[in-house]
Every structure is written in structure tokens, then in C-alpha cells.
Structure 1
Amino acid sequence: MPPEITRVWCRLMSTLAAPDSSRLSLQAFSTRALPARERHEAWLQRDWPSLAPAYRCKPLEAFDVASERLQLDGITIQFAEVTGQSWVRDASLIKSWTPDALVIALTVQGEARGEWGGVSARTGTGSIQFADFSKTSSHVSSASKTIAIAVPRAIAASRGLAVEALHGVATRSAAGSLLAAHLLALREAAPGIPKSSEQILARGVLDLIVLAAQSAGQASEAAAGARGLSLMARAAIERSLGSPTLGPARLCRSLAISRSTLHRLFEREGGVQAYIRRRRLEAARVALEETGSDEPIHMIAERLGFSDAAHLSRLFRSRFGSSPSDCRAEARRARTGATSAAGMEL
């Protein structure tokens, strides 16, 4: 297959699915439909944030790859299943092309060994490794399933992560396992999550990265402690989102913290009550837009901790500019229009 056709095929594979623009979407890529001799070149033709152009790679067996990519407020998360190969990132490649990012690699299955800036490391199932893309590396990997997170340097630095010091650090920890489990769950849930939740989800991922770096001795305990506590508070809220007793007093008791500490954790969100209200409203919108759902609005209100349907409607209109019934009707019209358009194309 000529290179020009290969590039067109790569773009087509990335755009075949037409996701709902109001929801998070996963961009899928696979070489499995291609002839074996053309697969590696097709993968190499992909642009950043694919990892392909960041390395000089040589397959160690018949090449094949399947991946899904999720963008969250500047952070790129890539889930990949790839055959064994060697990966080299040398000075000349860094000079000619350098995404300014910290890359965190989680190994779901497989192993790798090599050197990162002179630091020898070996990774395996359950490990987490950090790489500064402004530095050299060389490693060999077996057939593997991985999750790679690319965090722009400025964002990583703003969270207290020492990007240069992290280069080559590899470890296994409860925090790393929690991060992997969180990302795999996010992968499954993403198509049903509104794009308006991107910032919240990105903050949660960053909180877990900081915890993982702290467990490897590469982030301040104060920074990791505060972010870990914030993550636990948010998890407690999600578990009890529909409870009418959910509020500052209950959270302070369950987390054994003071009201002033709780306020600091949610200061950027306008306070814990504002955060709870926003999460309830976002959950209500997801329920209203869900395909095939006819759950009565008053039951959604009761399930999510609103006093009644009128209470939900008033807050919903203030937040989103439309009533719950209008939101549901608009979602149905959008689905009907998309189905009609697909039928015309066929």
C-alpha cells in the first residue's frame, strides 16, 4: 500500500465512528484489517498524541496493534494492545520532535526492560513507570497491554511533579493499581459521560498520578496527602450522591477532618455543597439523556437527593438553561436525527 493511501487509511480509521459531540469519546485505531506487511508502517504514520512517532521502533515479531485514545482537558490517555518490539528515543529524535510531556505508563499485561536516561529498569504486570520525553530512553517490550498517560509538562509541574527527577522511575504500589483500575473503569464509562465533566475527571486522574509518584518517593507528602484526601472526599460523595443526609457534617465525620479542611478541599469548586449540587445535576442530565430511559423526572429527583421534581427543575434550568423535560426531548431529537442521517447515508 503506497504511503499516501496508508495515511488516508489511518485518518479514516480514526474517524469512522461519529461520536455524540456532547459526550466523551474514544478514538479507536487498529491494524488488524491490514495485510501483515503493511501494519507497522500504518502505525508509524500516526501523529501525536500517538506514541508511534516518539520512538524509533523495530518489531520483534509479526506486528499488530489496537488502541483507544481519550482526551481529558489537555491530558491524553491511550489504551493499547501491541506486539513485542524495541523502542529507542535518542538525542537526534528528541531534537527534531519533542512533545513536552511527562508520560506515565501502566502495564496491564506484559513486561519491558531497558534504560531511561541511564537508569536501568524492568517493568511487568501491575507496574507504573514515568518518562520525561525531553530525555533519552531505550527499551524492549514483550507483547503487552498498557495504559499510557501523556501530561503536558506545565500541568505536571503545577501539580508538584518533578518531571526530570521522575524519568525512569518504575514501581508497583497500591496507588498505581488504583490508577489503573480507575482508568479502565473510565474507559468503559466514557461514552456515557458528558464532555462538561472533562475537567473534573482530569483532576481525578492527576490526583492519582500524584499519589503514585509520592509512593515512589517523587512527590511531596503534603501535596499527595491533600490530593489523596480530596480524592477520598469525592469518592465518598459519589457513593452517597442520592442520600438526603449527604453534606459537610457527614463528610467531616466519615473522613475525620475539620470543616475548615473540607472547605479547603472544595474551595476551587465554590464549596462542598456547590460541588455536591453540581454532581447531582450532572448525574440527572446523564439519566435524562440516556438512550431508552423513561424514568419519571420525579423519580430521578428522589434518587439523586433532590427534595422533589420542582426542586430539580429549578436548579437544572439555572445550571443548564433548559428544563429536565426539554433536555430529554432534545436528546431524543438528536438521536432521531442521527439515525435518520445514518439511514440516508446507507
Structure 2
Amino acid sequence: MQDNAQTEEAANGIGAAGPLRCTIDIDTSSAPPAEQFDLFQSWHSSLADVELLCEEFDSFPARERVWQLGSLALAFIEYPGTGYRRRCSSKKNPVLDHWVLSIPHTIPPEGGPARTGQLRWHCLAAAHQDEAEDDGVLCLFFPRNFAFSQPFTLDIRPEMAAFLTDYVLLLHGSFPNRAENDVPYMASATTNLLAACIKPSRDYFFVAQGPIDAVIMARAKKLVAARLADRDLTPDKLCQELGISRSRLYRIFEPVGGVSHYIRRQRLLKTRDALGDSTDGSPIASIAERWGFMDPSTYSRTFKKEFGISPKDARAAGWLGINDTSSAGRPHDVPVSLSSILMNS
């Protein structure tokens, strides 16, 4: 069992140092419902003053997770949204002067993935106030003078703000597959990207090339996923929509076998999912054509080369319920505060 666990961790890129863990993982469930907002307020009492503007509330279920990346800290805070409008104000006598980049998220009433709002930023030492009733926020904290000298305002162009938003979301989404020994790399990459976006220069962009390429890759994958059924999807069209050269797109996708290979594999995965769905009785040729494979024999050979099994056998296995499933959870709770992390960074 131990060997299997080690093999699984290695496959996920997790080394001997162990998986990346939250420095803080707390929620309000330990307090009586009527006192949950008071507990939430106490988490941030040294950073900002938070008021709940609604007149009555039965509870305030909230959770905060924080990951420390060297002198940076990334916090994901979830709380009740609609009907729980809050006002956040800066401290009159601040003890911290860190920058905060915030990305709010809202869960649609009809369900589905959360919608992210526009990037916001401010300095903890400067006068600031805002109101919101979103469902949570992803915050990146970093020292005010960590990589550049700035006053109490940041000049971030709209295209750079969009780029930073994509990067912070990508960084947070990568944490389940990260190890503790990845922290120095993530901190360095994030620092370089912040410098490149906030104070653009040729040197900053050069050192930030890795994280910049990662964001372009993430954007490209989103475009591919959205247009996977489009038979006219080509590398040239991706270049046009991403605003990059063909050579750069090819270089970014080289580690995964090239952009054409990536698109083909994603389409093959879609056909594999459809074949394994016992409620989809469409002919195999129709499923292949749905995802851009017009010649059945070529599709069958390509599918077998990719997965080591024919489409017919894949359908039989899927309908018999032969699937690989795995799950992992690693609760972690350390009694420290976000402000203490920032003070010691």
C-alpha cells in the first residue's frame, strides 16, 4: 500500500517533501450560528474592519485557507453571498502595509462553476473601503517593496490585470498537485510575474517567461475546450485569438507533444467518455465524427495507439462499469493567523 501511495504521489508531481499544505485552514462551524460572523471578524481584525450590513442573519458559514509562498501569501476565503452584504474598511492605525490583489467570485443561482470578477488591488496601509456580497475572494498578499518601489497606488493596465487574474487562478488551481519543495519556485515565478505586470520592462518579462507561458497555455487550453467540436479549429486560429506567433505557440505546447497532438488527444478523450456512457447508444462512427474524426478506420487506429485499446473494447469496458477512480483528502488545521504570516514574511 505504501509503494502504491508513493507511486501515485510521484505521478502527481509530489516528491519526498510531501504535498503542499495550507498554513491555515479554519472555518466558523466551531462557533454557535449567531456568533459565527464575530468569529469571522476576528480572523482579520488586525488587517481590516469588516461589517455585516444586513439587519438579521441566522448564521455565517465561512472558511479561510491560506498558503504561504515565501514572502507571499495566497488566501481563499469563502462566505455567504447574496443577502449578506459586507463593508470592508482599512484600519485607522494599520500595522501592515502589504499589497492585496483580490479576485472575487460569485456562484450563479442556477449552479455551475463560479464566476470571477475583475481584479482589485489596494495597500493595507492606505485608506480603502468597499462593499460586496459575492460568495468569496481569492487574495494574494505581498510586501509593498518586495520587488519594486511603489507609492500607495499601483498602476496596472487592464490587459495586465486580466493576465494577473488568469495567473492567480492558475496558481491556486495547481495546489492539489504541488509539493512543499515547489514553494521556492512558485514564490520566485509569482514575484517575477508581478514585477513584469506592475512595472513592465524587457528584463522583467525575460525572467517571468515561465509563468507568462503558463498563463498563455491555460488560456489556449480554455479556447480548445470551448471549441473542441469545431472541425476548423487549427493552431493558426489559436494564434490569432491568443495574439501570439505560431512559433511561440508551438514552443509552449512542445512539452505536451505539440498543439495539434494536444487538440487530437482532447478530442479522443471526449470520444472515450462518450463510449463509456451507457446512456449514449450512438454508433462509434457517429461519436468519432461528432469530435472531428471523419474516417472510422483512422479513428480506430488513433484511438488504440493513444489508449492501448480499441473503441469497441473501450465501450464494452465502460458499459460494464470498469473505471479507475481515486480520491484523496488531507485536512490540515494550524492555529495561526493570516496577519501573523504577513508580519513574519
TM superposition score category, shorter chain reference = 0.3 to 0.5
More strand by share: 1
Output the TM-score relative to the length of structure 2: 0.47
Q: Which has the higher contact order (CA 8 A, sep 6+)?
A: 2
More helix by share: 1
Output the TM-score relative to the length of structure 1: 0.47
